[in-house]
Amino acid sequence: MKKQNNRQRMSGKKCAAITIRAFRLLCHIYPGVITSMIANIIWKALTPYVGIWFSARIIGELAGGRNPEVLKNLVLLSLICAAAVSLVGGILGRWAEAESRRTWFAEQYLFVDKNMRMDFVKFDHPETQKLLHTIEESRKNSGWGLPRLLWSLQDLISPFFSILGGTVMVISFFTSHVPESAGRWTVLDNPAFLVLLIAVMAAIPCISSLLANQGGKYYAVNNAAHSMANNLSSWFSFKGHDRKAAGDMRFYQIDKLCMKYGLDRKHLFGSQGYFADLARGKVGLLNLASNTVSHIFILFVYLYVCLKAWAGAFGVGEITQYVGALSNIAGTIGQFFRVWGDIRNNAPFLKQTFEYLDLPNDMYQGSLTTEKRADSDYEVEFRNVSFRYPGADTWALRNITIKFRVGEHLAVVGCNGSGKTTFIKLLCRLYDPTAGVILLNGIDIRKYNYQQYMSIFAVVFQDFKLFPYTIAQNVAASGRYDGEKVRDCLMKAGFGERLKEMKDGPDTYLTRKRNDNGVDISGGEAQKIAIARALYKDAPFVLLDEPTASLDPLAEAEIYDRFRSIVGGRTAVYISHRLSSCRFCDKILVFSEGRIVQQGSHDMLMREEKGEYATLWNAQAQYYAEE
């Protein structure tokens, strides 16, 4: 397997800058998590020294005076302190755990909020989706990015306070002198020995950590391959019990293909795979060298402390205190450098995160008020409108000029890829024209407040989504709603008979996966709920963008026929590559290759026997001729 380097080398300065920025972001999105985490870490970092201090006192007394009263008081006091430490630690730990439960939701909301505020045309762009997918895969599979920074912060704060506590514990070690009676062993008090000890304490943990970080780089460099292999391996775990996939899996025995990624020894995670080779080779040797260097330091500390104790600088009890504290300091120094290495490995993933979060919005938001007029007096005009997707060479729409008023029923038809959906997205201002202008009552729609302008439209998209909440919440798109209005909209949309069968009525949850009393609904029923949602919004413009594409033509015609009877005086725009909805519309726009090639009523267009509309109608007429 070739190394897949998806990381850009970053300087230490850039790494520190982007990490600090990410830390500020973490403090903003979940301050309670940071506060509770720091409090818990400080407590955990300092409390081991309580046990070390009492152990040293008890061992010193056992090796010296052996006074029962003193021993009893030391043991009793140590137990009381241990209980207090445990109690406070439990409280802080529970607080930190409770706060940490919010991290996933807070981080998800960070991206959801960005997605909702981003220009739709930019969010819809393949490069944006690719970047978002890369970030999500890195977070999900290996925790790179913001999750890894949170873990690193815990490991970074802990060493600082651990070193601080350990330093207090070893001050007396450096101030304890070997008595003159020890003769030549007084050389241990020579400043050169102390300098050597400090140098070794700093150098060996650094070397150990650098070796460990060198091994850790391989996993960061190969994150893309790791994510892909993880997805292939875990796919069967999720899809193996998916009812929608069960038929294909059973008939074609897809489980055998899935098992390949779980049992193949040469797979990335297999015993003969790439990461296994790393563990047996470079990474394994680096980790071995790291652990070996660490143990050399511990040996050095034991030797130096024991020699000073043997020479009479301090008692036997202090050996436990000094060895424990010095080893802990060295270990935490090593941990500090390991964390810094992890932060450097993580920095490119944070860079990707900010590349996404920093994507600018280019659409002008506008400031004019768009009123929901009581008289519904609206006029929409497309004036020489053209649109080309960012990075595309061809025009999706070219020189579209059309005018219509509220109350008209407009059909937009054409083959797939003819520009129908793009036309609707421009009308709703999900996109802005590349050229030309769209006017509402004579004013460029870009001058209207963006959110207010969108509020005058209710759209049922081709790939509409219902959510695993109650039917009423899906219709109202809110947790608060008018129950009678919800029922009325469902009845008008043709969902009334099905609603009567439900014990909880509109409060019934969609899908049984979420609730024992939930229901699974058919595609046609889902479409009726989606239409009820559009009706509930009570907007002057109602747009149906092929929401019935998955239904047969007769079922589609039935839904459109019902919808025409309830849309009332509002403007209704029907988009379809099937023509059963067109005959009763006031005007039909026929799109082909991004242009309007015909427009008029059904009868008018049918008289053009060689026209695009007549050709499409005659090709489909067999499906709804009986109607």
Take residue 2 and report the two structure tokens written for it.
């070739």
Domain covering 460-538: architecture: 3-Layer(aba) Sandwich (3.40)
- Closest of 356, 335, 344, 333 to residue 19, by C-alpha: 344
Average pLDDT over the chain, rounded to an integer: 79
CA distance readout (Å), 264 to 260, 281, 564: 5, 20, 58
The CA R_g of the chain, rounded to the nearest whole Å, is: 35
The amino acid occupying position 614 is A
Distance CA 416, CA 493 (A): 27
Q: How many CA atoms lie within 13 A of 414 on its CB side?
A: 23
In the DSSP assignment, the letter for residue 508 is P
Distance CA 38, CA 142 (A): 24
Q: Which of these CATH numbers, 3.40.50.980, 3.30.43.10, 3.40.50.300, 3.30.56.10, describes 365-456+543-627?
A: 3.40.50.300
Listed in sequence order, the residues at least 6 apart from 155 whose beta carbon sits closer than 8 Å to its beta carbon are: 335, 338, 339, 342
Domain parsing of the chain, residue ranges: 12-30+102-226+285-357, 365-456+543-627, 460-538
CB 107 within 8 A of CB 148: no
Q: Which of 245-249, 362-366, 385-389 has the highest mean pLDDT?
A: 385-389
Please spell the DSSP secondary structure of 139-184, one letter per residue: HHHH-TTHHHHHHHHHHHHHHHHHHHHHHHHHHHHHH----GGGGG
Cα torsion at 21, 24, 26, 30 (round to 10°)? Answer: -160
Which residue has tokens 């009986």?
Answer: 626
Confidence of residue 289 (pLDDT cuts 50, 70, 90): low
Q: What is the mean pLDDT of residues 390-396?
A: 86
Q: What is the mean pLDDT of residues 79-98?
A: 86
Distance CA 195, CA 322 (A): 17
CB 182 within 8 A of CB 312: yes
Distance CA 477, CA 465 (A): 11
Q: Which of 32-41, 162-171, 318-327 has the highest mean pLDDT?
A: 32-41
The 10s digit of each residue's pLDDT in 257-280 is: 666 666 666 665 555 666 666 666
The 10s digit of each residue's pLDDT in 103-157 is: 778 888 888 889 988 988 888 888 899 899 888 888 877 778 888 888 787 777 7
Q: Counting beta carbons within 10 angstroms of the beta carbon of residue 416, is it exposed (0 to 12), middle (13 to 18) or buried (19 or more)? A: exposed
Confidence of residue 61 (pLDDT cuts 50, 70, 90): confident
- Closest of 117, 581, 594, 528 to residue 356, by C-alpha: 117
pLDDT tops 80 at residue 164: no
The 10s digit of each residue's pLDDT in 226-255 is: 666 666 666 665 666 666 776 777 766 766
Distance CA 322, CA 473 (A): 64
**In 311-449, alpha helices (H):** 316-357, 420-427
pLDDT tops 70 at residue 434: yes
* Lowest mean pLDDT segment, chosen from 344-358, 402-416, 520-534, 544-558: 544-558
pLDDT tops 60 at residue 365: yes
- Closest of 520, 572, 569, 566 to residue 547, by C-alpha: 572
Q: Which of 234-243, 283-292, 564-573 has the highest mean pLDDT?
A: 564-573
